[in-house]
Amino acid sequence: MTHPTLPVNAESPIGIFDSGVGGLSVLRHVHAQLPHEHLIYFADSGYAPYGDREEEWVIQRSLAVAAFLFGQGVKALVVACNTATVAAIKAIRTQWPGVPIVGVEPGLKPGAAATKSGKVGVLATDRTLHSEKFLTLRDQVAAATQAEFLLQPCIGLVDQIELGQLGSAGTMALLEQYVVPLLDGGADTLVLGCTHYPFVEQAIRNVVAQHTTGPVALIDTGDAVARQLARLLEGAGLLRPAGVAHLRGYTTANPAILAEAFRALLSLTPQVDSVVVA
- Say whether 81 is catalytic: yes
Residues at the annotated binding site for substrate?
18-19, 50-51, 82-83, 195-196
Strand order in the sheet with 189-192: 148-153, 119-124, 189-192, 217-219
What's the CA gap between 215 and 187, in Å, rounded?
Answer: 10
What's the CA gap between 100 and 87, in Å, rounded?
Answer: 18
State the catalytic residue, choosing from 43, 77, 81, 129: 81
**Dihedral sign (CA 143, 144, 150, 152):** negative
State the catalytic residue, choosing from 99, 112, 194, 225: 194
Residues at the annotated binding site?
18-19, 50-51, 82-83, 195-196
Which residues form the catalytic set?
81, 194
